[in-house]
Amino acid sequence: MTKLFDPFPVAGLRLKNRFIVAPMCQYSARHGRPNEWHLVHLGRFALGGFSLVITEATAVSPQGRISYADTGIWTDEQAKAWRPIVEFLQANGAAAGIQLAHAGRKASSPVPWRGKFDETPQEKRALAFQQWQPEAPSAEPHADGFPEPRELGAEEMKQVSEDFAAATRRANAASFDVVEIHAAHGYLLNQFLSPLANHRTDAYGGSLENRMRFPLDVIRAVRAAWPKEKPLFLRVSATDSHPDGLTPADVAVFAMAAKEAGVDVVHCSSGGFAGARFAPARNYQVPLAAEIRKLAEVPTVAVGLITTAEDAAAIVDNNQADLVALARPALDDPNFPLHAERTLGLNKGDYSAWPKQEGYAIRNMDRALNPA
């Protein structure tokens, strides 16, 4: 019998199973406010049986957005807009998580499906278009075609930490169950951590210990602002996948320090910098979650093209990770956990995991297609 559908207690929260939804940017907000798109996009995963649904990377400041169309939580108005989404998730059986983020030198980027800034004047008005100079640990652009950022000073770094803390307090006011700090994918905290982006010569650059200093400052600020009974997740790139970048051993050191600072679970992704060398494939990041779990002795989330119920069960049952996160596979099948239960032979005619508005109809469909 698989542990995939066993509850997972963490801090004062009890997740009903091991399936969670990873953050997925939608680039569909105006002035940082979530809207009906975000309600439907996130809400369908609660209906589909996931135990925790984490929002897209949600900026802690206007300059922390990846693009002008990102969601944010730097104002009380934005927090208020998140509240009905949180309530819908919780009312339909899922915990609500928010990923707090700052894009650093990858900020002020084009919306991905455009690939460039080609908005017409009319579109700019309708979409609340903005551009700005990014901020980063060092005044070096992410790659060709990206704007040159300015280097953050010590006082500005203190402000970023306070921005994370203020966003955390707003997340609590909006009744989120989980906060996840985004320190992956080449964004600001990952930039400080990685030697690929951090070329500072002060106390925040150089050695791994120094490069960890600012991300840990942010973690401590968030933990202090977040109720102790609510879990704190940390998303990391467990490797830069670059010969001059971070290795899993480096990230395990950071994960251990983060655990001491109050992180409960580490969500293990990879990459994010120009020149990274990896080939995405089925389950390709699962070994990273297993390695960080072993080295740092911390619960982990595995993510990365986990596409079958059997693979998800094996990850949990073989203790490679404690939770399984889906992103694109969840977009493809928002009912993945409900379908996995059936695929693994655990349904046994019980459709109570489905929403009451749907379960009886699915049961009748199955009976019609598979008469006894």
Domain layout of the chain by residue ranges? 8-329
Lowest mean pLDDT among 306-320, 322-336, 350-364: 350-364
Question: Residue 348: its pLDDT value, please?
Answer: 74
What's residue 332's pLDDT? 98
Query: What class has domain 8-329?
Result: alpha beta
Helix axes 208-225, 248-260, angle to 10 degrees: 40
pLDDT score of 190 more than 90: yes
Active site residues: 187
Please compute the mean of the pLDDT values over residues 196-201 and round it to a whole number.
Answer: 98
User: What is the reported pTM?
Assistant: 0.97
Of 188, 134, 186, give the one whose Cα is nearest residue 161: 188
- The candidate with the shortest Cα–Cα distance to 58, out of 90, 85, 34, is 34
- Output the pLDDT for position 371: 86
Give mean pLDDT, residues 197-211: 98
Average pLDDT estimate for 255-278 = 96
Note the helical H segments in the chain: 36-47, 76-91, 121-127, 154-173, 188-193, 208-225, 248-260, 286-296, 309-317, 328-332, 336-343, 356-369
Q: Contact, 27 vs 111, CB < 8 A?
A: yes
Which residues, 6 or more positions from 47, have their beta carbon under 8 angstroms from its beta carbon? Answer: 92, 334, 335, 355, 358
Residue 38 confidence (pLDDT) above 90: yes
Average pLDDT, the chain: 97
